[in-house]
Structure 1
Amino acid sequence: MSLIAEFTLRAPDLALTTALDADTDITVELEGQMATSSDTPVLVMWAFGGDFDTFEVGLDEDPTVRTYNVLEELGGRKLYRVRLASENLQPVYPVYQRLGAGPLAATGTHEGWQRRVRFPDRESVVEMREFCTENDVQFQLRRLYTPGESDLEDEFGLSPEQRHALVVAEQNGYFDVPRQLSLDDLGEQLGVSGQSASERLRRGASQLVRKTLLSDF
């Protein structure tokens, strides 16, 4: 039976580490990943939450980045297309392919990359951790569960964690203008990192929109 693993990776030669360290308020969310004919990895990702000028200086200085350009700007977010320098990059994605794992989501901050990946079995998760240990990549497993085991959805399709995050955020002024609660403070109330709190809010809000505003489309 397959397993879903949620874990954090951190190493100097992971993609965008220098850029994310340049502005500790920036968060990037992977939209897609592809390889070109020259086998050079390309990331398409949203960035938000910090100063884009500082982040782009970090992109210019990042040894894992060959080129980048902005595809779109929308509501305080920027969509980037980043061509990576594979010769300076820790090759994590090929390990997923070798293990038969399927990446589901990736969010990056100065604290590292939070990944959610479907693995074929427990042994492949162990192999992933062993690869990280052998290659000086910090691997912190946060959650391991079988599909459908953890997300007991309510009438809106929200998991208990997503519903709780949205309720706490609303009750404490996270959605107010100006905002009364930071992501880090929200994370502290939820017992998770600010990055994890952000992911729960985004996924919960997206699910609410699909189940309500888009339910008739």
Structure 2
Amino acid sequence: MTTVVELEIPAARLGFARTFDRVSTFEFQVGGMIGGSSPLVWTNGPDRETVEQALEADSSVEVIASIADDADESSADDGVTPGQNDRWLFRLEFGDGVKLLEQIVTETDGAILTARGANGRWMLKLLFDDRESVSACHELFEQYEYRAAVTRISGIDDLASAQTPLTETQYETICKAHELGYFDVPRGVTLKELAAELDVSHQALSERLRRSHAALVSAELSERTAPMEIDP
């Protein structure tokens, strides 16, 4: 079944790490990564000059051209701080980390749907024909030490209705923990016993449960403040 995978990769592995260090509020969104030419990248931050200087000083990318911005010309009249809602478009050339990632995704019959970043991390949404392609891609990411953290896996048929923020492994772990009474008071199974049932180490299970809890709490808080969106 066609599968969409959402994952995060540290900027240190793909690019913009130095820009994030220099500009803490820096964010970006790539307008298409595969196609041969250098991609167009929307960026934002405190102001255009600060962002452009940071990009120029970042050895992981090359600024080919500064294209345009979508600043709201009426923002000053509306009392909005200048630069607060502005974005600036650059044509950038990425380094070997991004080029290898594109190659891996393409060779495993995948496609990059979106690529954006904030807080020192890239957030990617990838499309694959089947779960075997997903596994093959993930194995190559591990081989080349991309440190990719999968945040969500969805079937293309249920993208509109998918509500769980958990990955497939996290979902299965939570279900097994609930089934065996791990969340009961008193607990029906210890963490060590649950780890043995799932055939994982005590530490790996502890980290998996913490990530699952964090994802569920984050989704619940987001649900109470704004509607969930599939696309950024």
The two structures share one fold, judged by TM-score above 0.5: yes
Residue equivalent to 2:222: 190
State the alpha-carbon separation in 1 of the partners of residues 48 and 38 from structure 2. 20
State the alpha-carbon separation in 2 of the partners of residues 65 and 147 from structure 1. 33
Counterpart AA for 1:200? E
Q: Secondary structure at 1:12's aligned position in 2? A: helix
Q: Secondary structure at 2:33's aligned position in 1? A: strand
**TM-score using structure 2 length:** 0.60
How far residue 54 of structure 1 moved from its aligned partner, in angstroms, is 2.9
Return structure 1 stretches of 4+ with deviation > 4 angstroms.
none
Residue equivalent to 2:22: 22
Identity %: 19
Residue 149 (str. 1) matches residue 158 (str. 2): yes
Residue 140 (str. 1) matches residue 149 (str. 2): yes
For structure 2, the 5+ residue unaligned runs are: 72-85, 165-217
How far residue 150 of structure 1 moved from its aligned partner, in angstroms, is 3.1
User: 1:88-107 alignment to 2 at 5 Å?
Assistant: 91-107=100-116
RMSD, aligned α-carbons: 3.2
Relative to its length, the structure with more strand (as a share) is 1
Residue 120 (str. 1) matches residue 129 (str. 2): yes
Q: Secondary structure at 1:91's aligned position in 2? A: helix
Q: 35, 40, 45: which is aligned to 1:44?
A: 40
Counterpart AA for 1:124? S
Structure with the greater alpha carbon radius of gyration? 2
Note the alpha carbon deviations across 1:167-210, whole angstroms, 9 max, x for none.
Answer: xxxxxxxxxxxxxxxxxxx989317xxxxx8x93975xxxxxxx
Q: 197, 200, 212: which is aligned to 2:229?
A: 200
Question: How many residues in Structure 1 have an aligned counterpart in Structure 2?
Answer: 164
Residue 53 (str. 1) matches residue 49 (str. 2): yes
Note the alpha carbon deviations across 1:17-43, whole angstroms, 9 max, x for none.
Answer: 32233212121111123555xxxx612
Residue equivalent to 1:5: 5
How far residue 11 of structure 1 moved from its aligned partner, in angstroms, is 4.8
State the alpha-carbon separation in 1 of the partners of residues 64 and 136 from structure 2. 32
- Retained in 1: the 8 A contact 2:42–2:89? yes
**TM-score using structure 1 length:** 0.63
Counterpart AA for 2:15? A
For structure 1, the 5+ residue unaligned runs are: 153-158, 162-185, 192-196, 204-217
